[in-house]
Chains A and B, each alone.
Chain A
Amino acid sequence: MDDATIRFTVDGIEIEAVAGQTVIEACDAAGIYIPRLCHHPDLAPAGQCRVCTCTINGRNGAACVTPAMQGMVVENETKPLNDDRRAIIEMLFVEGNHPCVYCVASGDCELQALGYRLGLDAPKQPYLWPGRPLDTTHPDIILDHDRCILCSRCIRASRMEDGKTVFGFEGRGIAMRLNVDAQGGLGETQMAAIDRAASVCPVACIVIKRDSYKVPNGKRRFDVSPIGSDIEAKRMPRT
């Protein structure tokens, strides 16, 4: 092995990482799934959602922004961590409006899929029913603020991949919301349907128009196997 190889353990399993990788990147490569919402492999990490929080050397930290280090001890699949993750998902469900029953993202939605994987049978916190506006000013793209979970993927994709600055946050705390860089809504921005920012949304906040429900039930991304199955499939079956 060369010096650049880092070894550390996740839930007692030893894995290898390359210097410069974060914990989540190393685990993805090794076939260990850490639940996440804001992290996207093609985008710079943001540490926005805290779903990927793991216990690292005894302290909790977001796996998407923690560099992999030699000999670190990571706990991922533990009850307290999954309880916290479930609580985050639950709060996201009640703070926005996420009607899975008719949502165009249902079956492809990462928020829903995490709810499934973490066994959230029903959000028990009181629903807030925000009723945020729907921006349909763009000819090809809908911006449904009711669905936004503030993951910042579109902000990062627009700036770094598309070379535009279509999206940003305004406000703080519970009042924080996604905004676009034009007074008249998305239709007045530089946004195009082929932009990376249009395809990274984990939920149904950014949706391509007239393209919904084309995939039949049973054939959508998370219909048959849980989110993370693709990563876990990479793991060599241990003999």
Chain B
Amino acid sequence: MTDIELSRGPRKIVIDPVTRVEGHGKVTIRLNEAGEVEQARFHVVEFRGFERFIQGRMYWEVPVIVQRLCGICPVSHHLGAAKAMDVIAGVDQVTPTAEKMRRLMHYGQVLQSNAVNFFHLASPDLLLGFDAPVEQRNIIGVMNAFPEVGKWAIFIRKFGQQVIAATGGRRIHPRLCVPGGVNQNLSIENRDMLRKDVDQIVQWCRDALELHKSFVHSHEALHENFASFPSSYMSLVGADGGMDLYDGTLRAIDADNTPIFEGVQPADYADYIVEEVRSWSYMKFPHIRSLGREHGWYRVGPLAQLNCCAFIGTPIANAARTEFMAQGRGGLVHSTLSYHWARLICMIHCAEKIRELLFDDDLQGTDLVLTGTRRPEGVAIIEAPRGTLIHHYTVDDNDQVSGANLIVSTTNNNEAMNRSVKQVAVEYLTGHEITEGLLNHIEVAIRAYDPCLSCATHAIGQMPLVVTLEDADGAVIATRVKQ
């Protein structure tokens, strides 16, 4: 069970693995001379090398290759890369049919991904309690205790997956996009199949939100303070300032809701964002160039999507956002557990957008692909379920990729996740004991960001989180693996 190695003096805690996040992470906590938490690190231990091994491949292969980096949000990568390839193919605006097919797919993806995070990964903590017995604290336990929630979990995800399959031919790793457009429209048969269920799905999303709000209201202090801090936020917003998860310009705001930058075109992203490498993680640490590494870090994802936009263009989600923002008492909402609430609002928005699109005849259009004059470089940004996702490619005269730079959603949250972990460590670590409570709380904090740490399909296996406790000299005091 508990594996604590006590050595003389130096102390270090390791939690390995963090379960119920996608991928594999590891936490190290270091104490100072006085025995207080000095540093907490959330390590990402997987390395892929995509930016290098994609070089030499043909540019139109990229949307199909890059989506294999993640089995959780492959569609985000597929669409992000496809938008970058539109630029390279010289197409600034795809046809209405192509744009709407891609949007439909994207909303289906965000819907299903947010559903998985909320229901399958987070709801066991929220509904059964952070300290519920391990063998019950999972989706099956939730299904047994709350059959209704189990039903929502299964069918909302299923619907999102069906939307993806209807647009891209299959549920995971679909193929819809080619540079400059798409390879099919929406068949009447699929449209009608989806229309049949969409109202029910919208309703269930609303029901899930109500259930979550009752959790929030019964745990107000926890919800407000847990692993929380004011921070800056970044997301795409539409031309009208409203929420747009598929396209738009970059907007970043500081903790007081003062814009840091806005209206930034994807092509200019590198003027605003810079990344730092730290020796102890394969995941880089981005920050806003103008503010420097100390103050320039920010958060992305559902919470940022709600904080950054002025409104949501669908009525039910917009009303939900108004209520959500009231938590901020006129300012932004900073509480980390609010990510879940925000995630549910994004889910509602997606369900509403899907409903809207299913009644749009453009989806049966036959004008699918445009061509243009080849360009050497393309950047595209999309709001993935976990936040801002940036794809940047250069292509040589023979159509081969010569350079690639990706900043994925979870990377944007790297600093914030580390700070949340530290905050929890400070609050819940007493002495040199690594308690079950500490382990659980660290995991709950990380889970709020829904990090997707590697090729996340690989979920049936060990999802490691080790917590190590070190003393001021960096020697290990204790390691604990949650079992």
Contact = CB atoms under 8 A, between A and B. Distances in A.
B398 A213 contact: no
Main secondary structure of the interface of B (DSSP, over half): loop
Contacts of A218: 169
Contacts of A215: 183
Contact of A136 (B168, B170, B178, B400): B400
Given A137-B398, A215-B183, A142 B58 contact: yes
A183 interface: no
A124 interface: no
A214 B68 CA distance: 19
A216 interface: yes
Interface in A88-115: 101-102, 104
A217 interface: yes
B399 A213 contact: no
Contact of B170 (A209, A210, A213, A217): A217
A134 interface: yes
Contacts of B183: 213-216
Contact of B174 (A102, A104, A214, A217): A217
A134 B184 CA distance: 29
A26 B273 CA distance: 67
Contacts of B309: none
A102 B64 contact: yes
Contacts of A213: 60, 64, 175, 178, 183
A212 interface: yes
Nearest to B58: A142
A108 to B, nearest CB: 13
Given A137-B398, A217-B175, A101 B169 contact: no
A101 B58 contact: no
B399 A209 contact: yes
A209 B169 CA distance: 23
B168 A102 contact: no
A102 B68 contact: yes
Interface in B23-80: 56-58, 60-61, 64-65, 68
Contacts of A102: 61, 64-65, 68
Interface in B301-352: none
Contact of A216 (B56, B58, B65, B169): B169
Interface string B398-411: 11100000000000
B185 to A, nearest CB: 10
B173 interface: yes
Nearest to B371: A210
Contact of B58 (A136, A214, A217): A136
Nearest to A185: B398
Contacts of B68: 101-102
Contacts of B398: 136-137
Interface in A200-218: 209-210, 212-218
B168 A134 contact: no
A157 to B, nearest CB: 23
Given A214-B178, A216-B175, A216-B184, A134 B400 contact: yes
Contacts of B179: 210
Nearest to B185: A216
Contacts of B176: 216
B60 A210 contact: yes
Contact of A210 (B64, B174, B399): B399
Nearest to A212: B60
Contacts of A209: 58, 399
A104 B56 contact: no
Contact of B168 (A137, A142, A217): A217
Interface string B176-196: 101100011000000000000
A212 B62 CA distance: 11
B353 to A, nearest CB: 23
Contacts of A216: 168-169, 175-176, 183-184
A57 B70 CA distance: 53
A134 to B, nearest CB: 6
Nearest to A144: B58
Contacts of B61: 102, 104, 212
Nearest to B178: A213
Interface in B266-314: none
Interface string B147-183: 0000000000000000000001110011110110001
Contacts of B168: 216-217
A218 B166 CA distance: 11
Contacts of B184: 216
Nearest to A104: B61
A215 B174 CA distance: 12
A142 B168 CA distance: 26
Contacts of A210: 60, 179, 399
Interface of A: 101-102, 104, 134, 136-137, 142, 209-210, 212-218
17 contacts: A101-B68, A101-B173, A102-B65, A104-B61, A134-B57, A136-B399, A136-B400, A142-B58, A209-B399, A212-B58, A213-B60, A213-B175, A213-B178, A214-B178, A214-B183, A217-B169, A217-B174
Given A136-B398, A213-B175, 17 more contacts: A101-B173, A102-B64, A102-B68, A134-B56, A136-B58, A136-B400, A209-B399, A210-B60, A212-B60, A212-B178, A213-B60, A213-B64, A213-B183, A214-B178, A216-B169, A216-B175, A217-B168
